[in-house]
Amino acid sequence: MVKPPSSPSRQHSASGPIRIMLIGDSAIIGELKSGVLDGQDELAVVANPFNGNAAVGRLKCNDIDVVIMDIGMKEAEGVDTLPALFRADAEVKVIIVSTLSFSNVKAAMKGLLEGAAEFVALPSPSRRLNKARIGGELRGDLIATIKSLGLARRKTGRETKAAAAVVLRRHTITRPDVIAIGSSTGGPKALLDIFKRLPTNIKQPVLITQHLPAAFTVTLAASITRESRWKCVEGKDGEEIQKGTVYLAPGGFHMEVVSSAGGKKLIRLNNGPPVNFCKPSVDPMFLSIAKAYGPGVLALMLTGMGRDGFDGGKAVVNAGGTVIAQDEDSSIVWGMPGAVAMGGLCSAVLPLKDIPSYLRKAATGAKA
């Protein structure tokens, strides 16, 4: 799904505290407002409509950077209003918060595929009764996420010095043996957009690491399979990698590739500690793929916060493979793709809409 163009009715301010709209009047929203966001000089709650329909109106007449939505609301007032929110402001950044119940996971994944930037898992209600648990488990991650998304929102449509300074490498690949993709914030929607437009005559296997909790990755794999013509499955330990199949790292495990004695490429699930604060992490996948496939790797870095995947991208390049990245303007956050682009690893930095065509040409050897 391609986001509609931004409303031209007002100029978005790029100064002052990050402006937040909280949607809902639940205990969770009240808790976030009083227990997490109060006292943060760089953040300001400027609107708190009680439901999604009221939020659309407030978004049209208020200058908002980040929306925080509790999906514990009635669905008609929650994620189902995301399309209307993006029609009001296509570039606003939306964070979904909830506990990890089955129904909440389903609704949250729907929201991420609609264009929400991030999901933040809350402790269970019993654990949230202890205010110290909020500060220890939620406040730091949520505040960092809000700040990063707010700054990214303010950069939208403005060419930065970083983006202008990217120097591309010469292309070193003809036809890859494998395509590897790393993604994080905003990644589910970007992945779905790509696979909807990527023809299935591409025979290379595709391996993906997307930063998501365990309950979400099985849902994302099913969504890609259902919404595109591609078969997407969670990787299983010891599974032989097959052509034309998409393998998604399961939440809670690093997905790696090893070569068997007979030369077969197998998936290995690593239950080691988080890497770059992430599990699954992009770096272990890229590093292992570079070792297993050598110069036959085409690695793609999509939208995401942080620098996960930079070391693995360097290994891909050092092995003779190719790295490309999503550009800043089409990324929700240009952290991970920006790191490999600014680090001199990329042969191409592309808008999201141009990535399927690039992958098709590279994978099939087509000239046009």
Whether 149 and 201 map to the same domain: the answer is: no
Q: What are phi and psi of 225, to 5 degrees?
A: -65, -45
DSSP state of 166: -
Three-class DSSP category at 216: helix
In a domain, 10, yes or no: no
Token pair, residue 112, equals 């991420």
Whether 270 and 135 map to the same domain: the answer is: no
In a domain, 13, yes or no: no
More confident: 352 or 31: 352
Contact 99/122 with Cβ under 8 angstroms? yes
User: Cα–Cα distances in Å, from 100 out to 97, 120, 123, 159?
Assistant: 10, 10, 8, 38
In a domain, 9, yes or no: no
Whether 50 and 182 map to the same domain: the answer is: no
pLDDT at 164: 61
| Residue where one domain finishes, among candidates 155, 189, 212 | 155
Catalytic residue among 65, 70, 193, 308: 308
Per the prediction, the chain carries an average pLDDT of 88
Contact partners, residue 136, CB within 8 Å, separation at least 6: none
In a domain, 303, yes or no: yes
Q: In what order do the strands lie in the sheet with 346-350?
A: 231-234, 245-248, 206-210, 178-183, 297-301, 322-326, 346-350
pLDDT at 73: 59
User: Cα–Cα distances in Å, from 141 out to 48, 120, 222, 349?
Assistant: 21, 8, 28, 29
Pick from 155, 157, 150: nearest CA to 20: 150
Per-residue pLDDT at 310 exceeds 90: yes
Q: What is the pTM of this model?
A: 0.90
Per-residue pLDDT at 146 exceeds 60: yes
Per-residue pLDDT at 160 exceeds 80: no
Whether 142 and 215 map to the same domain: the answer is: no
pLDDT at 121: 84
DSSP structure string for 5-56: PPPTTSPPP-SSSEEEEEE--SHHHHHHIIIIITT-TTEEEEE--SSHHHHH
User: What CATH number is associated with residue 260?
Assistant: 3.40.50.180
| Residue where one domain finishes, among candidates 115, 132, 155 | 155
Whether 183 and 35 map to the same domain: the answer is: no
Whether 255 and 142 map to the same domain: the answer is: no
Whether 52 and 32 map to the same domain: the answer is: yes
User: Position of tokens 């023809």?
Assistant: 199
In a domain, 11, yes or no: no
H or E element that contains 346 = strand 346-350
Contact 241/267 with Cβ under 8 angstroms? yes
The residues with which 43 forms a beta bridge, in sequence order, are 18
Whether 151 and 166 map to the same domain: the answer is: no
User: What CATH number is associated with residue 89?
Assistant: 3.40.50.2300
pLDDT tens digits for 311-367? 999 999 999 999 999 999 999 999 999 999 999 999 999 999 999 999 999 999 886
The domain in which residue 282 lies consists of 162-364
Whether 240 and 304 map to the same domain: the answer is: yes
Number of structural domains, the chain?
2
159 pLDDT band, cuts 50/70/90, is: low
Q: What percent of the chain has pLDDT over 70?
A: 87
In a domain, 238, yes or no: yes
H or E element that contains 326 = strand 322-326
Active-site residue flag, 308: yes
pLDDT at 158: 58
CA distance 364 to 33: 52
In a domain, 279, yes or no: yes
Whether 60 and 181 map to the same domain: the answer is: no
pLDDT at 1: 40
What burial letters (b/e) apply to 306-338, b meaning 16+ CB within 10 Å? bbbbbbbbbbbbebebbbbbbbbbbbbbbbbbb
Whether 166 and 151 map to the same domain: the answer is: no
The identity of residue 291, as a single letter, is K
Catalytic residue among 183, 211, 228, 327: 211
Q: Tell me the average pLDDT across 122-143.
A: 63
Q: Tell me the average pLDDT across 7-31.
A: 77
In a domain, 8, yes or no: no
pLDDT at 104: 87
Whether 93 and 209 map to the same domain: the answer is: no
Active-site residue flag, 329: no
Active-site residue flag, 177: no
Token pair, residue 100, equals 């990890």
CA neighbours closer than 13 Å in the CB half-sphere of residue 105: 13
The identity of residue 118, as a single letter, is E
DSSP structure string for 223-271: HHHHHSSSEEEE--TTPBP-TTEEEEPPTTSEEEEEE-TTS-EEEEEE-
| Residue where one domain finishes, among candidates 111, 130, 155 | 155
Contact 237/206 with Cβ under 8 angstroms? no
DSSP state of 353: G
